[in-house]
Amino acid sequence: MLEIIDLHARAEGTEILRGINLTVKAGEVHAIMGPNGSGKSTLAHVLAGREDYEVTQGKVTYDGHDLLELDIEERAALGLFMAYQYPVEIPGISNKYFLKAAINAIRKYKEQPLIKTSEFLDLLKTNLAKLGMDKSMMERSVNEGFSGGEKKRNEVLQMAMLQPKLAVLDETDSGLDIDALKIVADGVNALRSPDRAFVVVTHYQRLLDYIVPDFVHVLAGGRIVRSGDKTLATVLEAEGYAFLEPAGTPA
Amino acid sequence: MIVTETTSYQEQFERFEQELGADKPQWLRDLQRRGLARFRELGFPTTKLEDWRFTNVASLAKQDFIAPLTPRVPGQVHDAGELAAQALLDDSFHRLVFINGRFAAEFSRIGELPEGVQVNHLEQVLRTQADQIGEQLGQQASLENASLTALNTAMFQDGAVISVAAGVQLETPIHLVFITERDEQAVASFPRSLIKLGKGSNVQVLETHVGSPGATYFTNSVLEIELDDEAELDHYKLQSDSIAAHHIAATHVHQRGQSIYRNHYFAFGGALSRNEIACTLDGEQVQTILNGLYMISGDQLADCRTRIEHAKPNCESHEMYKGILDNHARGVFNGRIHVHPDAQKTDAKQSNQAILLSDDAVIDTKPELEIYADDVRCTHGATVGELDDTALFYLRSRGIPEPLAHKMLIFAFANDVVQGAKIEPLKKYLEAVLLADHGLPQV
Amino acid sequence: MSSETALLEEYSKREYKHGFVTDIEADALPPGLNEEVVRTISAKKNEPQWLLDWRLKAFRHWQTLQEPTWPHVHYPPIDYQSMIYYSAPKQKPLLESLDQVDPKLLETYEKLGIPIEEQKALAGVAVDAVFDSVSIATTYKKTLEDAGVIFCPFSEAVQRYPELVQKYLGSVVPAADNFFAALNSAVFSDGSFCYIPEGVRCPLELSTYFRINAQNTGQFERTLIVAEKGAYVSYLEGCTAPKRDENQLHAAVVELVAMDDAQIKYSTVQNWYPGDEDGKGGIYNFVTKRGACRGVNSKISWTQVETGSAITWKYPSVILQGDNSVGEFYSVAVTANRQQADTGTKMIHLGKNTKSTIISKGISAGFGQNSYRGLVKIQKNATNARNFSQCDSLLIGDKCGAHTFPYIEVRNTTSQVEHEASTSKVGEDQIYYCRQRGIPTEDAVNMIVNGFCKEVYQELPMEFAVEARKLLSISLEGSVG
């Protein structure tokens, strides 16, 4: 589904990604772990198409498309979803309006008929219930005045509504208490399916207790320095990232 | 030059005086004559005056506008019926409807009012309780340097009068509808309105201005508001005048201790509109909230002015104005905050944000702070610019194409002001206007 | 004799020895202004006909103008006929003994340590000193000449480089620009001229030191700086005046021209006599300063620390004509006692991708009134123009005032303009906290004020920043009880 080959990227003249290689197949959950500044969030943003990052080398194939050639919204329409570490506040647009606009934009791209209001409302109601969210939140402006937990839950709600093929979760666990974390993880787990893949970016192993990955990769100095199964996360938890030092990655 | 421009109104004034003067109490005749004298002295403002630097009223001054001498004959209307129907948001509101500056009973409807509440039109009040109103008229609106307020003072015949006794909470909003319909000659109307709220009372007033599509006319409105201690007024003004109209309005507000005044101004119409709000915070713990949205295109000019006089300590004023300007439209914002020497612990915030959608659009903004007390928190900000990149990226990453995302963000920018409205039908109406205006699907 | 007077005297002596100025008369014209006065000034300076014509045209225009009333300042009417428009210093400085020098001024210099001029001379700064209306001396001439830089009194430039002067004089601030600029154009006596040829980075900081000394004299100097393609110059300006009971007028004009890739950095520490505690005396500082970024990628940066003058009326501006040009304005303005300041800047964006930054810090104490007045104008063709303005006010005491009058005029969709303003005070709790940690009140205030002004100080050349800091603490002395 996703194949990243030798990806290099930089921001404001500094090279952050220095040759990432990663293959993600449908149905898999990959966790990307690593210390602060290792390039985890950059990787997520490059996949989503953020223009502040410049890809200097490498290739990314997503579902048969050359991902790097696609516009941000095309990527979204083709089923790539990013859950943000810091979801953006948009005063003046209600969550409901925003979600409907997104669903319809994607349908339009796929030349599908627009969603019926009743269908949309039913879908919204179901998903809100699953995530334990109050429907009054949908009348409020996008993320405005939301607590950290509410914002993250809202990201998962959007994911549930948009039904992506590949979801990239950028530090979805940051700023969450244990109860909120469980709810968010349950929401993600409910979406796991054989034709959907996840890339979960996280600093801590904690989240992986709830979203159990098939593969764990350790990112350091802009490269994947180690890959393994879920036990690698436990090793990291016990030993920290210190073991990376002897590997001699350029700081 | 000035003489010729003011002569038409001088003549109209003399005719009013001759025909109607005898019925008016002497104090009123004196007041109106003073207004005329002041207007003749000052003439129409020119762009040489700092307060009119960006707003040229030369074309308004040159044109002849005629104020109807006699009250309307009921039933003789052109399109006022349709205009009234459009303006009404909710039939349950108390409403006073004015057509070409004069009260129109057949469109008005005052429901059952609690004791101590008066909702009437000025002409009627002057006939029956002239002396009572005499103390109020001209109390807030000074003629000093305001030639157009002077003109209104000379020429007014009618307007709304609202007074609410202490402690009354009026649940149903009062809707003041000012309609100008096309006539053989370009119409001038000079509504003069008064609102007086007693201690601890609470009212919502909605003011709507509409006119025959494409008609040229001149509205010069003055509204004087007095809020006693702890009174609370939500004042909404929707200016949807004809695209060829001239709309000049001044709202003067005097606030006593712990009173709350919220003004929400929406300017969509008029070839030239100028809305001035002057608030004097004359008591402690007063709150003043002024929000505004001007959304214009074509060759429209919208001038929004606010003046806040922080005269006493421990008061708050918050102001947020937003503008969206397309084609050759010109926006002017002037916000002045004046903190008097003793007004310690003042908390004043002001912001004006504008977005230009066309390279021919113009925005002139001047937020002023004048501060004479040291223990205050005053900030103002003004931005003109493009949309937030981060928000644009967020929308696009959810699959919304850039052009649509752009429109949505402009809508969001404006809707932020609309959301402050607490009258639900008004909010719905404004949202629909905004969505339609930006070619966005309705909710 | 005060050390600063001594230094000036020294300059004078050197000057005569080197024969720069041969004909200094100990003369002053009688008070009053008419065409004859303009002709006399021009004749005394042996000026070419075109310059006399230029002056006369300015004078005739000035007669049609009204003194501006829009600034937020108040002062009694100025009698332009009672003023002296030309006064050349004698070979001996006028102040011969310490008794004649205002003790407060002496105290000020004592507190400053060594006089600023000496310090600058030691640091290798080229100085042009203007004493009353006439340029006294220019130091480091040789070093500058070797680099190809012209730095000399304006009157000398008129004689030696008439083509350059004629080409640029009035090209940024036209003679008819405003009331005070027109007056200056008619009667200006001297000032500095500076020309940096293509590709030259001026090897020294250039500096002009202005001093008003004579009584009843208006000072009308003119500065013109031209930086050719790729040139760079940093220019410093300092001013002082003795205490006089009557008000004195200072109406200067400064013009800057920056061609392609050129950079001009202009720094001012203005410390004219501000008047006494009751507002008696002091300088009326009504100055027109403007720079033109004519070339692509050019940059003009104004930094000012305004602590002196009874009234300041001054808006150093930048016309951003060349594509990608940059304009900056960093200002600290202090008004204590009865001082009034109405100061700010104008940034006129004409070229594409032009950028401007405005940082203004106003400090009011005593009965001081401090106004920021600024204009940011984005013209229609100024695609992608950017402006950021920040105007902060600090109030010390409850009898002073802080005012902000920003004008923002935008005619282009791709531009971004941001204006922020805030007002704060030196809080009692802040001072209490400092004192509890052992910091005396005065130091605490200085600390807070310095913190408040930091963004501007960073823009000043080092020795000026030190001086500015000291000046500020002196002018605020005693404002917190």
Q: Residue B369 is nearest to which of C396, C403, C411, comparing CB atoms?
A: C403
- pLDDT score for C212: 61
Interface test with B, best of A73, A107, A157 (most B CBs within 10 A): A73
- pLDDT score for C119: 38
The answer to whether residue C481 sits within a structural domain is: no
- Range with lowest mean pLDDT among C26-40, C113-127, C325-339: C113-127
Number of domains in chain C: 1
Q: Residue B371 is nearest to which of C393, C406, C413, comparing CB atoms?
A: C393
First to last CA, chain B: 53
**Does C contact A via 3+ CB–CB distances below 8 Å?**
no
**What's the whole-number mean pLDDT along residues C90-118?**
40
Interface test with B, best of C393, C398, C429 (most B CBs within 10 A): C398
Mean pLDDT of chain A: 88
pLDDT at C137 over 70: no
Beta strand pairing call for B362-371 and B330-339: parallel
- Integer Cα distance of C385 and C370 in angstroms: 29
- Classify B216 as helix, strand or coil: coil
Q: Residue A105 is nearest to which of B391, B400, B411, comparing CB atoms?
A: B400
- Classify B374 as helix, strand or coil: coil
Residue C477: which pLDDT band, with cuts at 50, 70 and 90?
low
- pLDDT score for B4: 58
- Residue of B288, B285, B222 lying closest to B252 (CA atoms): B222
- pLDDT score for C79: 87
Which chains sit next to C, with 3 or more Cβ pairs under 8 A?
B
In chain B, which residue's Cα lies nearest the Cα of A73? B399
CB contact under 8 A, C393 and B377: no
- Integer Cα distance of C188 and B66 in angstroms: 57
Q: Please report residues of A whose CB lies closer than 8 A to that of B401.
A: 73, 105, 109
CB contact under 8 A, B396 and A76: yes
Q: Please report residues of B whose CB lies closer than 8 A to that of C400.
A: 372, 374
- Integer Cα distance of B201 and B168 in angstroms: 5
The answer to whether residue C391 sits within a structural domain is: yes
The pLDDT tens digits of the residues spanning A149-185 come to 889 889 999 999 999 999 999 988 887 888 888 888 9
Query: C366: phi > 0 → left, psi -120 to 50 → alpha, else beta; which?
Result: left
Q: What is the count of residue pairs from B and C with beta carbons less than 8 Å apart?
A: 112
CA B411, B417, B420, B426 torsion-angle sign: negative
**Closest Cα in chain A, distance from residue B442 (Å):** 9
- pLDDT score for C140: 66
Contact call for residues C387 and C356 (beta carbons, < 8 A): yes
CB contact under 8 A, B443 and A102: no
Q: Please report residues of B whose CB lies closer than 8 A to that of C423.
A: 369, 371, 376-379
**Closest Cα in chain C, distance from residue B372 (Å):** 4
- Range with lowest mean pLDDT among B110-119, C111-120, C338-347: C111-120
- Residue of C434, C473, C433 lying closest to C450 (CA atoms): C473
Q: H-helix or E-strand containing C182? A: helix C179-187
Residue C8: which pLDDT band, with cuts at 50, 70 and 90?
very low
CB contact under 8 A, C425 and B363: no
- Integer Cα distance of B326 and B265 in angstroms: 19
For helices B122-134 and B26-42, what crossing angle results, to 10°?
A: 100
- pLDDT score for A84: 87
Q: Centre a 10 Å sphere on the Cβ of residue C276 and count the other Cβ atoms it contains.
A: 16
The pLDDT tens digits of the residues spanning B408-439 come to 999 999 998 999 999 999 999 999 999 988 88
Any C CB within 8 A of B345 CB: no
- Residue of B38, B37, B31 lying closest to B135 (CA atoms): B31
Any B CB within 8 A of A115 CB: no
Which chains sit next to B, with 3 or more Cβ pairs under 8 A?
A, C
- Residue of B413, B420, B411, B418 lying closest to B442 (CA atoms): B411
Beta-ladder partners of B322: B293, B353
Q: Please report residues of B whose CB lies closer than 8 A to that of C380.
A: 359-360
Using CA atoms, how far residue B344 sits from B258, B317, B349, B409, in Å, is: 16, 13, 15, 39
pLDDT at A249 over 60: no
Any C CB within 8 A of B384 CB: yes
Q: Please report residues of B whose CB lies closer than 8 A to that of A46.
A: none
CB contact under 8 A, A109 and B399: yes
The pLDDT tens digits of the residues spanning B141-171 come to 888 889 999 999 999 999 999 999 999 999 9
Q: Residue B399 is nearest to which of A51, A77, A97, comparing CB atoms?
A: A77
Using CA atoms, how far residue A177 sits from A148, A153, A204, B385, C332, in Å, is: 10, 12, 13, 39, 47
Pair of tokens at residue C66: 């009204």
ipTM of the complex: 0.78
The pLDDT tens digits of the residues spanning B218-230 come to 999 999 999 999 9
**Closest Cα in chain C, distance from residue B246 (Å):** 23
Q: Residue B371 is nearest to which of C403, C417, C419, comparing CB atoms?
A: C403
How does DSSP classify residue B88?
-
pLDDT at C116 over 70: no
In chain C, which residue's Cα lies nearest the Cα of B340? C401
CB contact under 8 A, B400 and A88: no
- Integer Cα distance of C86 and A133 in angstroms: 82
Mean pLDDT of chain B: 91
- Integer Cα distance of B107 and C324 in angstroms: 61
Residue percentage of chain C with pLDDT more than 90: 37
Any B CB within 8 A of A101 CB: yes
Interface test with A, best of B353, B394, B413 (most A CBs within 10 A): B394
The answer to whether residue C161 sits within a structural domain is: yes
In the 3-class helix/strand/coil scheme, how is A122-173 assigned residue by residue?
Answer: HHHHHHHHHCCCCHHHHHCEECCCCCHHHHHHHHHHHHHHHCCCEEEEECCC
The pLDDT tens digits of the residues spanning A97-148 come to 888 888 988 898 889 999 999 999 999 999 999 888 898 989 888 888 888 8
CB contact under 8 A, B394 and A90: yes
Burial of C211 (0-12, 13-18, 19+ CB in 10 A): buried
Beta strand pairing call for C232-240 and C206-211: parallel
Beta-ladder partners of C407: C375
- Integer Cα distance of A134 and A146 in angstroms: 12
**Closest Cα in chain B, distance from residue C232 (Å):** 33
**Does A contact B via 3+ CB–CB distances below 8 Å?**
yes
Any C CB within 8 A of B313 CB: no
Which chains sit next to A, with 3 or more Cβ pairs under 8 A?
B
Q: What is the pTM of this model?
A: 0.80
Residue located via tokens 């009743």: A118
- pLDDT score for C438: 64
The pLDDT tens digits of the residues spanning B161-211 come to 999 999 999 999 999 999 999 988 899 999 999 999 999 999 999 999 999
Q: Residue B412 is nearest to which of A76, A90, A109, comparing CB atoms?
A: A90
The pLDDT tens digits of the residues spanning C350-370 come to 999 999 999 999 988 888 899
Domain that holds residue C149: 2-476
Q: Please report residues of A whose CB lies closer than 8 A to that of B394.
A: 84, 87-88, 90
In chain C, which residue's Cα lies nearest the Cα of B382? C419
CB contact under 8 A, B357 and C413: yes
Q: What is the count of residue pairs from A and B with beta carbons less than 8 Å apart?
A: 81
- Domains in chain A, CATH or no CATH each: 2-239 (3.40.50.300)
In this structure, chain C runs to a length of 481
